[in-house]
């Protein structure tokens, strides 16, 4: 896909998803976000960048480790995500954080200005993840660390048919290389190529638990990356894609609900 188009699909798709994101994804992504923060081992006074911060789920958790002198900048390509994160910060009277709309491949931030860069479940959506990692490397000070989590291998993610199902009804693919970073060694190779050393990788499995089909559909279509395409579908197409998605996860049905397997890959590297 043409990179500019992919960025627009992401930007305006996540604008649409922002109102539903936490409802459908907070609980499901917590194990990956918690492990990311464990690996980051943040210390009081550190200066942290959270790339593709969304509504700030990781940013606000990170701030609890940074003491009075720590600072955090959160960046995301979606204006609406940044608005939400900023309004949470205002509501919490949290003045150690600043949120700004920014493309991860073109960070408007100074070289060597952060101790730590975090990026939770954002790198898969970027047209050139390697470029984004190079940007993270550039803004880290020497010795600084980048910690990233992405979704794992396609055949370890039971919900993976979602992209194909949506792509059958839209002219362009929503997320062409989504699962590439989850393949064995790929994240590590990308870290190396971006200049990181002392790289460590962890792979964990998870279960996405939905109480009913409404929850499974909301997470897949309203709260995630296909939201832009989905919002353009008429009611008949929506019914078709719902049926196709539920049939693709039927093997994971548990009573009224679903327990869909998933996998996350985490990596840490030092500048």
Nearer to ligand SAM, 180 or 240 (CB): 180
Nearer to ligand SAM, 204 or 237 (CB): 204
53: contact with ligand SAM by CB under 6 A: yes
Q: How many distinct helices (H) and strands (E) make up the chain?
A: 10, 8
| Whole-angstrom distance, CA of residue 10 vs CA of residue 19 | 15
# chain residues binding ligand SAM, by CB under 6 A: 22
Residue from 9, 48, 81, 260 in contact with ligand SAM (CB under 6 A):
81
Backbone dihedral region of 199: left (phi > 0), alpha (psi from -120 to 50 degrees) or beta?
beta
Among 24, 28, 33, 186, binds ligand SAM (CB under 6 A): 33
Candidate segments 40-48, 114-122, 163-171, 241-249, binder of ligand SAM by CB under 6 A:
114-122
CB atoms within 10 A of CB 268: 20
28 part of the interface to ligand SAM, by CB under 6 A: no
Contact region for ligand SAM (CB under 6 A) — 98-106, 109-117, 193-201, 241-249?
98-106
Angle at 12 between CA 148 and CA 123, to 5 degrees: 15
| Burial status of residue 239 (CB atoms within 10 A of its CB: 0-12, 13-18, 19 or more) | exposed
| The only residue of 77, 162, 187, 267 in contact with ligand SAM, by rule CB under 6 A | 77
CA distances, 47 to each of 8, 64, 73, 112, 130 (Å): 30, 13, 8, 11, 23
**Contacts of ligand SAM in 117-156 (CB under 6 A):** 120-122, 125-126
- Write out the residues near ligand SAM by the rule CB under 6 A: 7, 10, 14, 29, 33, 52-54, 57-58, 76-78, 81, 103-105, 120-122, 125-126
């Amino acid at each position: 896909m043409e990179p500019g188009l992919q960025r627009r699909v992401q930007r305006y798709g996540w604008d649409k998803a922002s109102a539903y994101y936490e409802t459908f994804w907070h609980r499901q992504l917590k194990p990956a976000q918690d492990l990311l923060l464990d690996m980051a081992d943040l210390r009081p006074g550190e200066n942290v960048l959270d790339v593709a911060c969304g509504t700030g789920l990781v940013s606000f958790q990170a701030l609890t480790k940074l003491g009075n002198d720590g600072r955090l900048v959160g960046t995301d390509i979606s204006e609406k995500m940044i608005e939400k994160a900023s309004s949470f910060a205002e509501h919490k009277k949290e003045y150690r954080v600043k949120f700004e709309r920014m493309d991860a491949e073109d960070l408007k931030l100074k070289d060597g200005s952060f101790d730590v860069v975090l990026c939770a479940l954002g790198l898969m959506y970027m047209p050139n993840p390697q470029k984004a990692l190079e940007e993270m490397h550039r803004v880290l000070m020497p010795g600084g660390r980048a910690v990233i989590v992405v979704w794992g291998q396609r055949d370890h993610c039971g919900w993976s048919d979602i992209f194909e199902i949506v792509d059958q009804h839209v002219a362009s693919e929503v997320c062409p290389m989504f699962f590439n970073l989850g393949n064995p060694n790929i994240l590590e190779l990308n870290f190396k190529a971006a200049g990181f050393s002392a790289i460590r990788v962890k792979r964990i499995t998870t279960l996405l638990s939905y109480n009913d089909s409404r929850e499974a559909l909301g997470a897949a279509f309203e709260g995630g990356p296909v939201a832009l395409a989905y919002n353009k579908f008429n009611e008949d197409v929506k019914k078709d894609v719902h049926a196709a998605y539920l049939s693709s996860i039927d093997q994971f049905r548990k009573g009224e609900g679903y327990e869909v397997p998933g996998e996350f890959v985490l990596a840490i590297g030092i500048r």
